[in-house]
Structure 1
Amino acid sequence: MSARATRLSTLTHRDADWAGLRVVVTGLGVSGFAAADALLEHGAQVHVVDATTPEPESLLAQRAQILEVLGARLLLGDGVAGSLPVPAEEIDLVVTSPGWPPHQPLLAEAAAAGIPIWGDVELAWRMRPTEGAAPWLLVTGTNGKTTTVQMLASMLRAAGLRAASAGNVGTPVIELVQDPEPYDVIAVELSSFQLHWSHSLAPRAAACLNIAPDHVDWHGSLAEYTRAKGKVYERTEIACVYNEADPVTRRLVEEADVTEGCRAIGFTLGVPDLSMFGLVEDVLADRAFVQDREHQAAELASFADLVGEEATPPPHLVANALAAAALARAHGVPPVAVREGLRAWQPEPHRIAEVAADGGVRWIDDSKATNPHAARASLVAHEHVVWVAGGLLKGADVEELVETAAPRLRAAVLLGRDREQIAAALARHAPDVPVIDVATTDTGAMDLVVRHAASQAQPGDVVLLAPAAASMDMFENYGARGDAFASAVARYLQEE
């Protein structure tokens, strides 16, 4: 073992000897800033590299200034991310932000030089306290991660635990492990990017909700994307939670190297079998963490607890709740806390959010449906849909999505860079569905989209923004896209 590897092998907790460790941190976003800040606090020598030139007074500029005051050396702007900032022999470790792919030149150079590369989540795991570290409950999957992890955190808090959600969306997990007031448990949402760069996580329980083609451009293939997702189960202690309706998730559990005694726990939208969570009519039931699971099941919650008395939850939302409940129960949360947690949970913005209803037409923002799998879940929940779609498909195939959705489509309004790919699939699978192409990418594009959608909608229809694609070709993020849609709908309805 090299001296570098020997040194890094000792860095398994926050009280280890981090002083003088020579680290390159790539990316000055939320996770990169948090990682660099934690490393500097522990005495590491830090170079921060980001290809963006910060605008004066911007958040990026403020982060850079803070890190510089703390002692980091910053390399920002065009060209700096093309190679290592110092010779390889002067670097002990690279800590990368999750969005940087393995083929990025600086990371590829580091890997070729034998420099270990950790993600921000791996660093957070290794900076937990020596004693009394909060266990982690991990959630990954192509879709439903954020909803599930927020439901889970709500259940944990309902059980009286100091708990929080962190990771892929929201607070970087390293901020929580550094908190001076310790948490009892942390619910961690992990993307395939973060899992790719993680190497030693050992969760209390873990779930992979589903697998569908996504981020193939980042990983290089669907097989590599799937392999990264499967890492969520490695070294799991109590329970590996899988989706009975998605055989790939079960296979990933079977292939995982887990702690002895760890159980495979499935969730299903049908009646649960042994060691599973599922439905008995409209009741969420646990047949895994009960004493006599051969003959009994624990009643956890009803549909009314999830969405209220007047609504029926869409299937994917029920699946998310079952997965969250399985993780919570694996951690010892009582059934009553599962129910109270679901009652307290609030849906996140831009996830199947009704932004208006007028003239018998409902307008729904599901901008967070950034891949075909997520868009499918939205589309099949409605009988007649005017579909607003398009953006960056990231290498994903839309054929199956369009074929499934075709009988429900009243019309489709397409925008964004890869709209022609969706249009071609519609021509093959839904040739009679009107397709309106919005080529403009300026700030008025969404107003045009809404006017076209309104012209096609009939009473009883849903106008659904479920893009099946990422947003960065036209918008800062999916939230900005959803906000633009909601604002355009409001302007249109005011004009009517």
Structure 2
Amino acid sequence: MRISELEGKRVAIWGYGREGRAALAALRWRLPRQPITVFCSDAEAPTLAAMEDPALTIDTQVDGDKLAAFEIVIKSPGISPYTSPAVDASLHGTQFVGGSGLWFAENPPGKKVCVTGTKGKSTVTSLIAHLLRSAGKRTALAGNIGLPLLELLDVEPPPEFWAIELSSYQAREAIAPDVAVVLNFFPEHLDWHGTEARYFQDKLALVTEGAPRTAVLNAADPRLVGLSVPDTTRVVWFNDGDGWHLRDTDLYRGQQFVMDARRLPLPGRHNRLNLCAALAAVEALGLDAVALAPQAHQFKPLPHRLQALGARDGLDFVNDSISTTPHASLAALDCYKGRRVAIIVGGYDRGIDWGVFADRMAVDPPKVIVTIGQNGPRIFERLKLISANSHFVLSEAVEMEDALRLAREGLESEGLVLLSPGAPSFPRYKDYVERGRHFAKAAGFDPEIISSIPGLGVA
């Protein structure tokens, strides 16, 4: 649905975070006199009122009946279409669309690379943008990574390439990208999707319904190996001996050795596999990825992703606040094998099974585990059953300051404190950025210098 098709229709915007603000700005740019209702929070209402827009209605209460009064509702990504009041309004004919869907319908010029997956999508998207820019290509970095696509609706001159991160909330909105990259799957966001099966379906829609020209897929993920793709889509595999893959710490393209990956600014094997995905995507665009691969040495790692903050009182501190699944926490621990580690885990309880984490802790635990957050007590009780025989210190905290104190005490002033929660941040924090900043501040570091994502926008 193009923005011009909204003219004369009953239109609302639901949610006034950054995506909602981008949607309103885009509609006002293209349709300056279109009546629009914005459903927002009480705290956001004064900002909207200050615009003194006579065609703008502000409502801080939303329900199915109110939504049903509109033909089109542009909703923020975090609002699930599978629960009330969205379901109630849909039954009355209301059509819901996201800002990303509006942007794709406009089809701005430039080749589009879309990246999704449970973990690693921000890093891969940023790596793709970095590699393309290293080749002298004007490239936009946007999407779920922190810059809504609608904020770049009318960029002049237009970029040659778009590196776009899509969450599972947005994957269905992509229309015919040049390259679609799918990294991996672990159960996540089940409160939004409703079921694990629907989560995978929504995520895979980038390929199954988006009809990309090329799909770059992880050969090590069984869900992707058995995926049925459109006849018009070419499939390229990474993490496969015929494509981009790792042999121990060496990077290969098929049988060709490319470089030793140990000195890359990408901690952990999973991050080096992320580079394989990025190189496969760049190659699918027609560039010489082998020649560009050494440019990964100049990549600036993203904040809150295994981010080394520094040392205090003999301890190192690592911020992995973006970790929102137990699998991500395990991957983080793998990066520090052989070191004395205290890991802080826990956050919003989505009902995810922590059995795989507990099984690993039974045989290969860190020195200290501190649980925190809404699901902290549940994780604590699960680990309590094995802690006595697994030789790790298990503690339970309420606030971040408590968690850091317990981590320090358990390490006895030697080792590394790792925040890798394996769970979302809310409701305690607005997002993983706020959680990471709190961790940094409580550990004695300046939170103002750790959160900016390099390269967002067009360059």
Say whether the fold is shared (TM-score over 0.5): yes
Could you report, residue by residue, the CA deviation over 1:83-117 in whole angstroms, capped at 9, with x for unpaired residues?
A: 343754xx332211111012443311221012222
1:306 correspondence with 2:264: yes
3-state secondary structure, aligned to 1:188? strand
Per the alignment, residue 195 of structure 2 pairs with: 221
User: What is the deviation of 1:285?
Assistant: 2.8
User: What is the deviation of 1:401?
Assistant: 1.5
3-state secondary structure, aligned to 1:379? helix
1:399 correspondence with 2:378: no
User: What is the deviation of 1:353?
Assistant: 1.4
- Larger CA deviation: 357-366 vs 187-196: 357-366
Matches within 5 A, 1:475-490: 475-490=429-444
1:247 correspondence with 2:249: no
1:32 correspondence with 2:20: yes
3-state secondary structure, aligned to 1:256? coil
The change in CA–CA distance for 1:405 and 1:111 in structure 2 (over 3 A counts) is same
The 2-side partners of 1:389 and 1:18 are apart by 45
The 2-side partners of 1:159 and 1:96 are apart by 37
Matches within 5 A, 1:235-384: 235-251=210-226, 254-257=227-230, 260=232, 262-268=233-239, 272-274=240-242, 276-280=243-247, 282-287=249-254, 297=256, 299=258, 301-303=259-261, 306-307=264-265, 313-335=267-289, 338-339=292-293, 341-358=295-312, 361-383=315-337, 384=340
1:147 correspondence with 2:123: yes
The change in CA–CA distance for 1:86 and 1:225 in structure 2 (over 3 A counts) is closer
- Structure 2 unaligned regions, length at least 5: 446-459
Per the alignment, residue 4 of structure 1 pairs with: none
Structure ranking higher on relative contact order (CA contacts 8 Å, 6+ apart):
2
The 2-side partners of 1:284 and 1:84 are apart by 56
C-alpha contact (below 8 Å) 1:390/1:415 kept by paired residues: yes
Per the alignment, residue 175 of structure 1 pairs with: 151
Per the alignment, residue 452 of structure 2 pairs with: none
Per the alignment, residue 453 of structure 2 pairs with: none
Per the alignment, residue 75 of structure 1 pairs with: 59
3-state secondary structure, aligned to 1:435? strand
Could you report, residue by residue, the CA deviation over 1:53-72 in whole angstroms, capped at 9, with x for unpaired residues?
A: 026xxxx7435544x52732
3-state secondary structure, aligned to 1:164? strand
The change in CA–CA distance for 1:110 and 1:180 in structure 2 (over 3 A counts) is farther
- Structure 1 unaligned regions, length at least 5: 1-7, 288-295, 440-444, 492-496
1:431 correspondence with 2:388: yes
Identify the match of residue 452 of structure 1 among 378, 381, 406: 406
The 2-side partners of 1:103 and 1:152 are apart by 32
3-state secondary structure, aligned to 1:187? strand
Could you report, residue by residue, the CA deviation over 1:19-49 in whole angstroms, capped at 9, with x for unpaired residues?
A: 3232221111111111122123222432211
The 1-side partners of 2:420 and 2:434 are apart by 14
C-alpha contact (below 8 Å) 1:386/1:412 kept by paired residues: yes
> Which amino acid counterpart does residue 398 of structure 1 have in structure 2?
W
Q: TM-score, normalised by structure 2?
A: 0.88
Per the alignment, residue 162 of structure 1 pairs with: 138
The 1-side partners of 2:443 and 2:67 are apart by 52
Aligned residue pairs, count = 437
The change in CA–CA distance for 1:40 and 1:379 in structure 2 (over 3 A counts) is same
Identify the match of residue 47 of structure 1 among 37, 62, 77: 37
User: What is the deviation of 1:18?
Assistant: 4.3
- Larger CA deviation: 363-372 vs 242-251: 242-251
Q: TM-score, normalised by structure 1?
A: 0.82
Per the alignment, residue 291 of structure 1 pairs with: none
Could you report, residue by residue, the CA deviation over 1:194-234 in whole angstroms, capped at 9, with x for unpaired residues?
A: 125x2x61110111111001111111111000101101113
The 1-side partners of 2:294 and 2:46 are apart by 42
1:21 correspondence with 2:14: no
Identify the match of residue 122 of structure 1 among 92, 101, 115: 101
C-alpha contact (below 8 Å) 1:216/1:225 kept by paired residues: yes
Could you report, residue by residue, the CA deviation over 1:150-207 in whole angstroms, capped at 9, with x for unpaired residues?
A: 11111111121111211112110122232232111111111111125x2x61110111
The 1-side partners of 2:257 and 2:180 are apart by 21
Identify the match of residue 99 of structure 1 among 69, 78, 86: 78
C-alpha contact (below 8 Å) 2:67/2:73 kept by paired residues: no
> Which amino acid counterpart does residue 109 of structure 1 have in structure 2?
D
The 1-side partners of 2:125 and 2:54 are apart by 33
User: What is the deviation of 1:304?
Assistant: 5.2
> Which amino acid counterpart does residue 273 of structure 1 have in structure 2?
G
1:469 correspondence with 2:423: yes
Q: RMSD between aligned alpha carbons? A: 2.4
The change in CA–CA distance for 1:175 and 1:450 in structure 2 (over 3 A counts) is same
The 2-side partners of 1:348 and 1:143 are apart by 13
3-state secondary structure, aligned to 2:66? coil
User: What is the deviation of 1:340?
Assistant: 5.1
C-alpha contact (below 8 Å) 1:328/1:338 kept by paired residues: no
The 2-side partners of 1:86 and 1:214 are apart by 28
The change in CA–CA distance for 1:185 and 1:19 in structure 2 (over 3 A counts) is same
Per the alignment, residue 442 of structure 1 pairs with: none
The sequence identity of aligned pairs, in percent, is 29
3-state secondary structure, aligned to 1:206? strand
> Which amino acid counterpart does residue 397 of structure 1 have in structure 2?
D
User: What is the deviation of 1:236?
Assistant: 3.6
3-state secondary structure, aligned to 2:367? strand
